[in-house]
Amino acid sequence: MKKLGFGAMRLPIKNEEDASSVDSEITGKMIDLFMEKGFNYFDTAYPYHLGSSEKVLKEKLVDKYSRGDFLLADKMPLFYLEKEEDLDRFFKEQLERCGVDYFDYYLLHNVSEWTRNAFTDIKSFEFVEKMKKEGKVKHIGISFHDDADLLERVLKVYPSIEVVQLQINYLDWENETIQSKECYEVARKYNKDIIVMEPLKGGTLAKIPEKAEKLFKSYNPQMSVASWANRYAASLEGVFVVLSGMNKLSDMEDNVSYMEDFKPLNKEEYEIIKKVIDIINESITVPCTNCDYCIETCPQGIPISKYFELYNIWNRNPVEGFSPEHAYYRMYALKNTKGSLCDECGECEKQCPQHIQIRKHLKDLVELFEDENF
């Protein structure tokens, strides 16, 4: 199997205000090219694109190609579970949405302290083990967004886990909060296959500061900025697939061009990446990846990720007075909810895979973008 996987969390959409409006025509062309080039691993989940991700994979992948020609991974949404009966209900709905009789890989979605009840009291592990025995799941695993200590405890208690999906990218590798390196080492210690998610950190590593991009281009003008991030993750021992979220056909064309005949990073390339990390860290204020898990539980409906994106852009090149970012903030605030209406309930921070202090940063951006007349 080739090392690039198609992550269906950020598919092309027709309406920026409607995450469910997946452009099935463009997605279909991307899937066709992916398959044509010999790649076959697809990853989706129940909440992606408000359910449209699973449905469009049925239409453009499952209904078109022979079942044995591709590998399909899906996930049990632990954060939605309230009782054991929910396990069977969600699983059957996912099979139906995807139009399959079984999943090649089935993961418990977002195993963490926040979802502890869902994989202990509700017995979700026992459920997926049962599905494997019945032939409805070929391989079972977890997607993980917590610290290395919890990962080790989970792998000790549940040895039937075969794969671990981790957030790994060159920017988070040494991050003490995300603990990419530490979690990777735990997974390797227990001989688990590793699936990499967020190799581009939500697109952050495809749009790096100009100074950093010049370092990459001076070494190899033909290689895209994104290629460095994907190859970094794929070069790690034990990683069998790297999930890249591609929302344009050009993204797909670029990714398959260098992953079709994958070559690991060399020593010189690693040294360049170290310099790039220093440059990027100087420019990022809020390490948001736009996963939007926070928005799903925000009682006020604040478009947190959009506001943080504007805040980061402004901080890269701060200007006195009114800025384009101020204008965009006002536009979003009029259509949605302004940041100052945050009631500090903290639900967003429980959901955040990046462990961002969302309430603190919201206060800072409100101070920047709002005034007494707003």
Tell me the pLDDT tens digit for each residue of 346-374: 999 998 988 899 999 999 999 999 987 77
Q: Look at residue 317 in the predicted model and tell me its pLDDT.
A: 67
Task: Collect contacts of 146-153 with beta carbons under 8 A, ≥24 apart.
Answer: 146/111, 146/112, 146/113, 147/179, 147/182, 147/183, 148/179, 148/182, 148/183, 148/185, 148/186, 150/112, 150/113, 151/183, 151/186, 151/187, 152/186, 152/189, 152/190
Q: 252-276, pLDDT tens digit by residue?
A: 999 999 999 999 999 999 999 999 9
Mean pLDDT calculated for residue range 167-191: 91
Mean pLDDT calculated for residue range 227-246: 96
Q: Look at residue 296 in the predicted model and tell me its pLDDT.
A: 85
pLDDT at 99 exceeding the cut of 80 = yes
Calculate what percentage of the chain has a pLDDT beyond 90: 74
Q: Look at residue 306 in the predicted model and tell me its pLDDT.
A: 87
Residue 315 pLDDT grade (very low, low, confident, very high; cuts 50, 70, 90):
confident
Secondary structure of the chain: what % helix, strand, coil (to 5)? 50, 15, 40
- The tokens describing 274, both together, are 């170290």
Residues 102, 136: Cα–Cα separation, whole Å: 4
Q: Look at residue 313 in the predicted model and tell me its pLDDT.
A: 74
DSSP labels, 172-233:
TTT-TTT-HHHHHHHHHHTT-EEEEE-TTTTTGGGS--HHHHHHHHHH-TTS-HHHHHHHHH
- The tokens describing 160, both together, are 């039937």
CB of 232 within 8 A of CB of 3?
Answer: no
- The tokens describing 365, both together, are 């951006």
- The tokens describing 113, both together, are 């302290």
How distant, in Å, are the alpha carbons of 147, 223, 252, 265, 277 from that of 269?
28, 12, 23, 6, 12
- Measured from the Cβ of residue 295, the count of other Cβ atoms closer than 10 Å reads 19
Q: Taking the model in full, what pTM does it have?
A: 0.82
Q: Look at residue 16 in the predicted model and tell me its pLDDT.
A: 85
Minimum mean pLDDT range among 152-156, 181-185, 319-323, 333-337:
319-323
Q: Look at residue 26 in the predicted model and tell me its pLDDT.
A: 97
Q: Look at residue 310 in the predicted model and tell me its pLDDT.
A: 84
Mean pLDDT calculated for residue range 121-137: 96
Residues 345, 342: Cα–Cα separation, whole Å: 8
Calculate what percentage of the chain has a pLDDT beyond 70: 99
Minimum mean pLDDT range among 27-41, 117-131, 326-340:
326-340
Mean pLDDT calculated for residue range 39-60: 97
Q: Look at 287 and 222; give whichever has higher pLDDT.
A: 222
Residues 82, 317: Cα–Cα separation, whole Å: 45
Q: 116-127, pLDDT tens digit by residue?
A: 888 889 999 999
Q: Look at residue 235 in the predicted model and tell me its pLDDT.
A: 98
Cross-strand bridge partners of residue 75: 107
pLDDT at 322 exceeding the cut of 80 = no
pLDDT at 314 exceeding the cut of 90 = no
Minimum mean pLDDT range among 147-156, 162-171, 203-212, 256-265:
203-212
Tokens 């478009």 sit on residue: 303
Tokens 């469910």 sit on residue: 20
Q: Which DSSP state fits 14?
A: S
pLDDT at 323 exceeding the cut of 70 = yes
Mean pLDDT calculated for residue range 130-134: 98
Q: Look at residue 189 in the predicted model and tell me its pLDDT.
A: 97
- The tokens describing 215, both together, are 């370092």
Residues 270, 353: Cα–Cα separation, whole Å: 26
Of the CA atoms within 13 Å of residue 130, those in its CB half-sphere come to 8
